Amino acid sequence: MPAPYSREAALAVLNGAVDAIVEGHCESRFTAVRDAFLGNFNERGEVGAAVAVVVDGVVVCDLWGGLANRESGATWARESLVDFYSAGKPVVATLLLRLIDEGRVDLDSPVAEYWPEFEQHGKGTATVRQALCHQAGVPAIRRTLTNEDLWSWDAMASALAETAPWFEPGSRHVYHTNTYGHLIGEMVRRVDGRLPGFVLRELNETVGADIFCGLGPDELRRCATVIWDSPMSPGSPPIDTESEASMIWRGYFNPPGYSSVGVVNSIPWRTSQVPSTNGHGTARGLARFYDALIGPSPVLSAALLAEATSAQSTGPCPVLNQDVTFGLGFQPSTPHRPFGPTPSSFGHFGTGGSVGFADPAEGVAFGYVMNHVIPRWQSTRNRALIGAVYDCLK
């Protein structure tokens, strides 16, 4: 549990009058990571955060600091959990990839083979591979939904299944900002019989990760409060409901809280399963997850991991407003979205700058989470930390 200290002390940290409180373990070789982490607080506006680095299976850096709750002055603790947004997309993808490894799902079979209702409105050609790399044609739900629908997995899956595709599956990619979790997660549920959050808990026990989708009472007590410092808000939907602008708007704001706006610290948001967006965890948990992918007893076969982390779709994306490259749930490192200098690195950023990635060439697994959500997925904060890791490896 985060320990309270005086509001005066909390304000002194925020106002830069004193250095942030940073705790944890850092091997002497990686002192530069600790320095960069402190610099995030003292120079780059960090409020509360954690960073973890695993090298060849050994935790060489596990640091946390700052405020878990800016209003109360509660400090970040070793076990503090926070929403890591799209850094969770590879997590739900891995649950489906494991079913592919087990022979229970075929990568190039139609989604509808496992989820028959998805076939509606011509989506029968969409394959599992296309779903995993944002080519399935459903980056947004057409029927207008409420946040009450958002708290119901069945309501969300049903609305997604009945949505007519916004483009022919496989013809292009459009980042499935929020629908990705329900699209991939429902396939997991149809094959495994359990919602993805419960499958993830089983995986956690196997790999020693501390990441969740759908929190229980014990995890709720560990949550840091997110500070939403982003201009994103629903506004008014586009008048033309068939336009690309409407697709993008609905992808973010249908239901209204799909991107967490207005609901991020609420109990319904934290306890529901929205795997693309509301995964919660520690930095150590994300690093352990990636270490389990590249370690001596990997949770995916080498062949499937190589395919999942290689380019499956490359080109312009209207949601991200740039050229992007997608793997199968993971993003390969690219010059525009690098996970350090090693080309074989792979991972995923989340809104505000959270990130998890692995570098199999260097044996590195990395996790960073924070509660001050700024507009960018890549920030001076995560760049400083990642840069420091590689400086230490030279």
* CATH 3.40.710.10 domain residues, the chain: 82-277+297-365
Task: Report which DSSP code applies to 81.
Answer: B
Separation between Cα atoms, residue 394 and residue 391, nearest integer Å = 6
Secondary-structure breakdown of the chain: helix, strand, coil percentages, each rounded to the nearest 5: 40, 20, 45
Alpha-carbon span 305 to 111, nearest angstrom: 20
Query: Tens of pLDDT along 337-390?
Result: 899 999 999 999 999 999 999 999 999 999 999 999 986 667 899 999 999 999
Q: How confident is the model at residue 336 (pLDDT cuts 50, 70, 90)?
A: confident
| Pair 70, 47: CB distance under 8 Å | yes
> Which residues does residue 24 pair with via DSSP β-bridges, in sequence order?
63
At 134, the pLDDT band (50, 70, 90 cuts) reads: very high
Confidence at 4, pLDDT banded by 50, 70, 90: very low
pLDDT tens-digit readout, 11-69: 555 555 446 679 999 999 999 999 999 999 999 999 999 999 999 999 999 999 999 99
CB 232 within 8 A of CB 122: no
- Cα separation of 92 and 330, whole Å? 10
Using CA atoms, how far residue 273 sits from 133, 178, 215, 356, 364, in Å, is: 21, 11, 9, 20, 29
What is the chain's mean pLDDT, rounded? Answer: 94
Segment 58-103, tens digit of pLDDT:
999 999 999 999 999 899 999 999 999 999 999 999 999 999 999 9
Q: Half-sphere exposure of residue 192, counting CA atoms within 13 Å on the CB side?
A: 21
Residue 274 has pLDDT above 60, yes or no: yes
CA distance 66 to 273: 28
Q: What is the mean pLDDT of the segment spanning 328-340? A: 94
Sheet strands (E) in 133-289 = 211-212, 227-228, 280-281
pTM score, two decimals?
A: 0.95
119 DSSP assignment: G
Choose which CATH entry (3.30.470.10, 3.40.50.970, 3.40.710.10, 3.30.465.10) describes domain 82-277+297-365: 3.40.710.10
